[in-house]
Every structure is written in structure tokens, then in C-alpha cells.
């Protein structure tokens, strides 16, 4: 494995006001927020959305060094993690937690290949579009999904609907820079909401936050550095 390039990131921005707001929601026990994009969206050709997704998906193998924080109304936990990304849709996620705990998972597309231990990892990655959203990567629509969306004033909004699941994406320019928002609903129930922030002038995120209202709980990833790789060792995809 050869490292071609490394990006050092400003870790101070990890303490953004988005994370503060999310933590405040957990502490206050507030109700479920309104929809990310209320109202109907016009039908959109699948090829247009697929083009938007390709533009936002890294084309090189990457390794992310991360810090993470998990917050509930019962307290906080934090640690470190590493993510190996192989384009276009394979990720290995390794984490370390307090008291010597650790775990890993492999996500391929919209499926979890394996998670170890399941009880510590699967809760995060089981809703794979939210996990991908944390990394700043939108997912393409499934062939059976209905697709709607629009681009207006530099803001892209698109939505997939299939059976009971509705997945909505929004990309725009926020106060701290470009951002990706993701919302997953099953029926009228909000499964989770993601806010991922990008460094201006860079395709890479520096922070991702997901809120799960069923806890409630907030999980935040702060990117410490990103390596672009010549290749990824194929053995990392195998179950230990």
C-alpha cells in the first residue's frame, strides 16, 4: 500500500455549531423536526441524479483518520476510528472506544458484509445511506425507486422513494462551507438526519453528524486527516 498524498485538516472546526445544536436536541429531548425538504418535488430523470452522485463520489482509494463522539441523554462516549474507502462503494470502518473496546464493519453499497461485534457497530451502519452521508457520499437510487428533485440557485435537492422508505438529499452552501444533508424516513417516522460539512475548495468532508431521534442519540465524526492511496489490501474486506 503506497500513500500518494496526505491532507492535514483543521480539527478545531470539528466543534461546529451543528454538533452543538444536535447535542442540545438530545439533552432537551425535543420532538422530531420537520422534513428536510417539505412539499412535493418534481419528477427527475434518474440519469441526472446519477450524474450528481458521481460528481460527489471519490474516485481514488482513501483512508480517513477520525475522531468520533456518541451522545445520548445518559452521557457521552468518544474515541478514534479509521475508514478505508474503495471506489465506488466499499468501506471498512474500524473504531476504538474507551476501556479497550474496539470493532469493525465492512459496508458494500447498501449492505453490511459483516460487523464485529454486531451490537457495537451495526446500529451505526445498518441505515447505510446515513453512514455514507457521514462520509459525504450520496448513494445512487435503486432501479425500483421513484426519483424526484430539482436544482435551483446552486441548491440541489433530490429524493428517492421505494415502498415505505424515503431518502432525501440536499447540497448547498452553509455558513461554514459546502454541506450535504441526508434524511431517511420509514413511513412518517424519521430514522435519522445527517449534516456533513466540507472544506471550501476541497472534495473532502471535515465533519459529519447524524441524529437518531429514536434514542435520542447523536453520532459525530471529525476528520483528522485523509490519505489518498495507490491501492487497498484486499484482505481488509475479509471477516476476522
pLDDT at 122 over 80: no
Identify which of 222, 217, 213 has the alpha carbon closest to the alpha carbon of residue 136: 222
pLDDT at 6 over 70: no
Whole-number Cα distances in Å, 14 to 169, 177, 181, 220: 22, 13, 17, 9
Q: Which residue has the higher pLDDT, 132 or 30?
A: 132
How many residues does the structure list for the chain? 240
pLDDT, tens digit (0-9, with 9 covering 90-100), for 172-219: 998 888 999 999 999 989 999 999 999 888 889 999 999 998 878 899
Q: Report the alpha-carbon angle 81-62-193, nearest 5.
A: 60
Please tell me the predicted confidence (pLDDT) of residue 216: 86
Q: Are 177 and 196 in contact (CB under 8 A)?
A: no
pTM exceeds 0.75: yes
Task: Report the top-level CATH class of 3-33+41-237.
Answer: mainly beta
**Residue 47: is it exposed, middle or buried by C-beta count within 10 angstroms (0-12/13-18/19+)?**
exposed
Mean pLDDT rounded to a whole number for the chain: 84
Amino acid at each position: 500500500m503506497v500513500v500518494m498524498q496526505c491532507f492535514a485538516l483543521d480539527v478545531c472546526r470539528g466543534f461546529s455549531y451543528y454538533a452543538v445544536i444536535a447535542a442540545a436536541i438530545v439533552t432537551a429531548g425535543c420532538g422530531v423536526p420537520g422534513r428536510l425538504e417539505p412539499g412535493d418535488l418534481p419528477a427527475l430523470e434518474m440519469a441526472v441524479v446519477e450524474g450528481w452522485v458521481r460528481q460527489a463520489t471519490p474516485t481514488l482509494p482513501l483512508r480517513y483518520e477520525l475522531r468520533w463522539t456518541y451522545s445520548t441523554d445518559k452521557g457521552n462516549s468518544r474515541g478514534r476510528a479509521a475508514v478505508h474507502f474503495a471506489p465506488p462503494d466499499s468501506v471498512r470502518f474500524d473504531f476504538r472506544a474507551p476501556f479497550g473496546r474496539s470493532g469493525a464493519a465492512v459496508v458494500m453499497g447498501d449492505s453490511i458484509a459483516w460487523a464485529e461485534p454486531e451490537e457495537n457497530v451495526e446500529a451505526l451502519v445498518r441505515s447505510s445511506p446515513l453512514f455514507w452521508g457521514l462520509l459525504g457520499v450520496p448513494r445512487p437510487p435503486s432501479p425500483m425507486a421513484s426519483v424526484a428533485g430539482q436544482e435551483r440557485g446552486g441548491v440541489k435537492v433530490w429524493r428517492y422513494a421505494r415502498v415505505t422508505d424515503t431518502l432525501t438529499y440536499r447540497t448547498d452552501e452553509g455558513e461554514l462551507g459546502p454541506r450535504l444533508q441526508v434524511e431517511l424516513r420509514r413511513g412518517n417516522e424519521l430514522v435519522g438526519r445527517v449534516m456533513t460539512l466540507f472544506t471550501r475548495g476541497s472534495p473532502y468532508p471535515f465533519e459529519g453528524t447524524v441524529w437518531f431521534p429514536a434514542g435520542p442519540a447523536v453520532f459525530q465524526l471529525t476528520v483528522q486527516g485523509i490519505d489518498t492511496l495507490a491501492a487497498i489490501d484486499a484482505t481488509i474486506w475479509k471477516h476476522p
